[in-house]
Amino acid sequence: MVDKLLRAYGEIDDRFIEECLAETDSCIDGVLERDFGETVRVNTGRKAKQSAWRRVVVAVILMALAFSTAYQVSAQFRQWVISIVRLNGREEIREQHMPAASGTAESSEAVINVSPVKKINDILEVRYVTAKKPVEPYEDIYVSTDRGKETYFSVQNNACVTIRNIRSFKGTIRWQGQKGFVNANIISYQGKQYVRNIYEDPYRGDKGKRKIRQKRFLLSVDDTGDFWLTLSKESDEGTYEYPLRCDGDMQDINTAKVADIFRNIRIDGKRLCDYPVITNWEKISDRYYCALVGKTQKTAKYYRHDTLQKKAVSLEKLTKQKDIRFVRALENTVIIGTASEGMEEECYDCYRFDLQSGEKKELYHHVVIWGEDDETNEVDRVVFTGGRYDLFTKNGTTYLADEQTGERIKLEGMDADLKPESVLINASGDKLLLSARFSENGIRKLGVLDVPERKLYLLERKNLTQSEESSVQWLTEDTFAIESDRKNGQGSMICQYRIR
């Protein structure tokens, strides 16, 4: 969706660091290369001297950041070590007190239990939220479902507090001769607005065997507080997703007005909104957007859309690259993946393009997407996090890859401690969450890589409850959660962690 921007960590201007490091070459030559991903071994040689010089360099960097929002890390800076912090002991998740069930909205707090906060090595805080009904985290609030009705609450002082400022946004919207149904809740809490679309059963009639293709408007809110309605539908040709900005009052469906910022944009003489396939939107800047457009899903191509000059240009023409398979925006540039030629496996070549200067930089050559069952080291593999940093493996060695600079930092010993099957990046792009494969007892190992702190925290876990862990996700910049459901289907449990 257009409102989901990938916020990058940033770069330090080389001159600030090079001037500082000019006098430190003799002190840092014994430092191991650092890696992106999980485990890095620290070289302890000349520790005292390095520590002193690092404090000096950090001070210079902080001063540079005070005057510059864009910075680039020098080669010497990248060789600093990411310290491994192994959290003592093993977190054992035990059965929590389960409250008595209740169907009344007034007592919704009473059917959800919140445990006291437990500290792990003064690095992590964890609390357990349990209920005898479905509960799930939604950003930094919670949603509980009881008899088809959703209620919302927050956790404060080891207790859940119901959020009552809810507006229902429901009805039919007509636009350009098309009409679609919207059903969403707008939740206002502590100065922030949340939007949750209510999805109804897409099957009806003939006992659910006949699927009805419906046009829907999906409501969302971006980081600036602006609301968007996206017309969404499926057809034989493919997926259609067309975003419209909401102008005016959003108190109810009757006062809502929509504005088409892509109006008058045409491709081969045809209006953009009239193409049967429009999907995979990316916001490059306030002016430029990117989307996959075509007559069919198979023949669709990526275009850059200029909302100021009302023009669309093929990305293949702009980048001089053919067979573009995926595109992602990153700090006013685009990351593209093209199909590699002459490869038996489905391989990609990946590049970063600055669409204003035309500068191109190859990031990966002949790589496959990192899969859960990958065991071979014969081909290079990459796991995309959706942010600036990726995990990259070559000849069995894992690296943290920086899409902004193209640099790779080796992660010494990571595979011995944690072989991640999932890598997630937070919204700010400065922390990576690595989790091992789900086992019968849930996620056994977690890794949290804090980029600014240059530390990788490793945590071992053991689930001793009757809940089956099913998913892991970031909630805010510093909190993440592991969701689980009771094996008998009678409730749910959430392990919520906060990085201190």
pLDDT tens sequence across 327-384:
999 988 999 999 988 766 689 999 999 988 889 999 999 999 876 555 556 789 898 9
Query: What contacts 265, CB < 8 A, 6 or more positions away?
Result: 271, 272, 305, 306, 307, 310, 311, 312
Name the percent of the chain lying above pLDDT 70: 75
The CATH classification of domain 86-499, taken from the options 3.30.420, 1.10.3470, 2.130.10, 1.10.3210: 2.130.10
pLDDT tens per residue, range 203-223: 444 444 444 457 999 999 998
Q: What is the pLDDT of residue 103?
A: 38
Evaluate whether 408 touches 391 at the Cβ level (below 8 Å): no
Query: Best-predicted range by mean pLDDT among 153-167, 239-253, 276-290, 406-420?
Result: 276-290
- Kindly list the domain boundaries of the chain, sorted by start residue: 14-30+44-80, 86-499
| Residue 243 CB-density burial (10 A; 0-12 exposed, 13-18 middle, 19+ buried) | buried
Question: What's the rounded mean pLDDT across residues 94-103?
Answer: 62
Average pLDDT, the chain: 78
Evaluate whether 337 touches 326 at the Cβ level (below 8 Å): yes
- Amino acid type, 436: A
In whole angstroms, how large is the CA radius of gyration of the chain? 25
pLDDT tens per residue, range 424-434: 999 999 999 99
Q: Which two tokens stand for residue 472?
A: 């892991």
- Total residue count of the chain as it appears in this document: 500
**Helix or strand run (H / E) with residue 377:** none
